[in-house]
Structure 1
Amino acid sequence: MHTVIRTTILGVVLGLVALVVPDSTPGPQDFTLVKVERAEGVDVEPDMIWILAVGSDARPGENPLRVRGDALQMVGINTRTGAATSIGIPRDSWVSIPGAGSNRVNAALYYGGPQLLGRTVGNLLGVQPDYVMVATFGGLARMVRAIGGITVDNPRRFSDQYLQPGGYRKGKVRLNGMEAVEFGRIRKTLPGGDFDRSANQQRLLRGIHRKIVAKADKPGFIETGLMSVVRNLHTKGVSPSELFRIAQAVAQVDPGKVTGCVLPGGIGNVGGASVVLPNVAAAKRYGNDARKDATIRRC
């Protein structure tokens, strides 16, 4: 009963935001939710919502929707069962970008914005996203602070002399603000590089979801935490009813039914630059596995 009430409140707030924040609002934004234009005849599962979550590498004054993406996670939610999965795409994956030749996958955001990035990742996995959510580093930090910080299960100690000299210890680590952002950005000191960074980004997503689930019934938590997001939320082509459906789906995700894999691959060299050569067969297997029920049986 509590979940229904909290979800209703969440949906009302999101609906109001959708009405007062017009499409294509100019200026910088922390979060932008874009509805992906689908080709006719694309098979869509009615119980599934696919959202490509993107961390934008925008610097002050840059448009977050037209720079290279720093983090890429394809998130699938089953609205009937509460299952959810995330497929991490290493940002340096060398792929075909429609109309732009071959390049690192994150360059698709620069060349054609969220629509092109969504199509590029969708072609790789064989599953097209319904929406693309682009978040800035600052926006993510403010959101984590607003919900009171998160806890992640860190499998190894690591640090970075520039981003986090003190490092993150092994085990349960509490993160707040930019600590969370840096946890998901560091790669050079991780043994698996881009692959381990993508796995850490999934740990952040799980930590955020666990905190929301744990605190959802606390009076004022959803409203206060949500407003930190919606003050700077912009939508493109998303109706109030769609926002409510997304909010409802996220609220009903069962933490015990969450799976996640990082797309494997090898390290290659293109034009003198180091890139990730993604395992295309594994990409299609992940997409096919999760297509109908948001569950990946094995990575």
Structure 2
Amino acid sequence: MIKKLLVAGTAVGVLAALWPVLGPLGGTVASPIVVGRVHRDFHPRDGKLFFLVIGNDARAGNPDASRADAIHIVGVNTVTKRGGILNFPRDSWVSIPGSGQGRINEALYRGGPGLLASTLESITGIRLDYWIMTGFEGFQGIVQGLDGVEMAVQKDLYDPTGSGAQIDAGYQNLGPKDSLAYVRTRHNFPNGDVDRTTNQGRFLLAMLKKLRREVTRSPAALLRWITIGRRYTRLDISPKETFRLAVLATQVSARDMGNETVPVTVGSVGAASVVFISPGAQSIYSRFRSTAAL
């Protein structure tokens, strides 16, 4: 085990030294993965880290006119090595700081990742540390670089006019097209967007499971993951932070990460169909704040 850790540390150290001279390792994409800090005064607390993970609906050629298609808070306790994913349906009707009320996904359009982070902080009382955002092309690029993501699909999915999903049930390796269809489809599930956002959390856990499995077999595999990420990522954080977070990801098992979606009720505002976050979510927020785990 010690030998494996030394190999991993050496591999990451080599890549860290090369980072400044590595430009983009391949073609560019219209919607890359972007990583940044939520607050300038970054002070991790008691071994707890919270990430806002955003999937936007930007199309090629118009990357700024986007709303959030996927909204998740990922917590990791660096001491216990446990964590959780808290999912928010995109049509949740909320108060957006300084911008009135609206669907939560509109916060991204109105004020970028910073406003979406502020909105979630005001709702949950959780101080977020990092935000990570990607679009359709960046998401598919990462899946392509990883040679697909293995996961158990709960049921046959057929949604040719919506997400484009045509996926058989069962454990299988999802390529870029099927992965995007899986995290976007809602018409095949009884609870629509609520089930979809839960499935997005399941997909994140499948990626974590693959990372941990590959690095356990060969610690040097972390190099491949970081290199693939480098190809599609624009970082607003330092290389040192990047490597620290990458190593942390290998130390957390998907089995120790809960995946919960905030409870909601269906309703409407005017002619708009929305969901309202139920009061019962407060107990989830409290538990998540105190432990960074679900």
Flag the structure with more relative contact order, 1 or 2, with Cα contacts below 8 A and sequence separation at least 6. Answer: 1
Q: Cα–Cα, structure 1 residues 248 and 264, in superposed 2: closer, same or farther, change >3 Å?
A: same
Quick one: structure 1 residues 212 and 7, their matched pair in 2 at CA, closer, same or farther if it must change by over 3 Å?
farther
**Residue of structure 2 in register with 1:295 after alignment:** 293
Residues 233 and 162 of structure 1: CA distance in aligned 2, closer, same or farther (over 3 Å): same
Aligned to 1:221: 221
1:73–1:87 contact (8 Å) kept in structure 2: yes
Query: Aligned Cα RMSD in Å?
Result: 2.7
> Does the 8 Å CA contact 1:78/1:294 hold for their aligned counterparts?
yes
TM-score (normalised: structure 2) = 0.87
Residue 51 of structure 2 aligns with which residue? Answer: 51
**CA shift digits 1:239-260 (9 cap, x unpaired):** 3332232112211112331111
Inter-partner Cα distance in structure 2 for 1:154 and 1:222: 26
Distance 1:37 1:169 in 2: 43
Unaligned 5+ segments in structure 1 are 22-26
Structure-1 separation of matches of 2:10 and 2:102:
43
Q: TM-score, normalised by structure 1?
A: 0.86
Structure 1 residues 12 and 200, CA gap change in structure 2 (3 angstroms): farther
Deviation at 1:203, TM superposition (A): 1.3
Instruction: State whether residues 57 and 67 of structure 1, in contact with CA within 8 Å, keep that contact through their aligned partners in structure 2.
Output: yes
SS of the residue corresponding to residue 192 of structure 1 reads coil
Q: Which residue of 2 aligns with 1:68?
A: 67
The gaps in structure 2 that reach 5 residues or longer are: 24-28
Identity %: 30
Aligned runs of 1:50-199 on 2, under 5 Å?
A: 50-63=50-63, 67-163=66-162, 167-199=166-198
Deviations 1:41-97 (A, max 9, x none): x99523011111110110111235x52010011100111121120001001111000
Partners of 2:14 and 2:116 in 1: CA distance: 30
Counterpart residue number, 1:247: 246
SS in 2 for 1:156: coil
In structure 1, the residue corresponding to 2:128 is in which secondary structure? coil
Matched, 1:203 2:205: no
Q: How many residues align?
A: 288
Q: Which residue identity does 2:97 align to in structure 1?
A: P
Name the CA distance, whole Å, in 1 between partners of 2:289 and 2:10.
28
C-alpha offsets along residues 123-150 of structure 1, whole Å, 9 cap, x if unaligned? 2222121011001111111111212211
